[in-house]
Amino acid sequence: MNGCAYIFLDEAGNLDFSASGTRWFVLTSVSMRRPFTATGALDAYKHDCLEYGLNTEYFHCADDNKHVRGQVFDIITQNMGDFRIDSLVVEKPKTGPAMQADTRFYPEMLGYLLKYVVPKEIAAGATEVIVITDLIPVNKKRRAVEKGVQKALAEMLPEGMHYRILHHSSRSHFGLQVADYCCWAVYRKWQSGETAYHDRIAGGMRSEFEIFRTGKKAYY
Amino acid at the residue 24: W
Mean pLDDT over 171-181 rounds to 96
Between residues 116 and 158, the one the model is more confident about: 116
Between residues 160 and 215, the one the model is more confident about: 160
Mean pLDDT over 125-146 rounds to 80
Name, in order, each residue with C-beta under 8 angstroms of 69's C-beta and a sequence gap of 6 or more: 61, 181, 197
Between residues 54 and 100, the one the model is more confident about: 54
The confidence score (pLDDT) of residue 207 equals: 95
Q: Tell me: pLDDT of 215 over 50.
A: no
Mean pLDDT over 134-148 rounds to 72
Rounded to whole angstroms, the Cα distance separating 148 from 160 reads: 19
Between residues 133 and 45, the one the model is more confident about: 45
DSSP calls for 147-197: HHHHHHHHHHSPTT-EEEEEEE-GGG-HHHHHHHHHHHHHHHHHHH---HH
Q: Which of 1-5, 140-144, 165-169, 174-178: highest mean pLDDT?
A: 174-178
Mean pLDDT over 157-182 rounds to 91
The confidence score (pLDDT) of residue 193 equals: 95
Longest dimension (CA), the chain: 51
How high is the mean pLDDT of the chain?
89
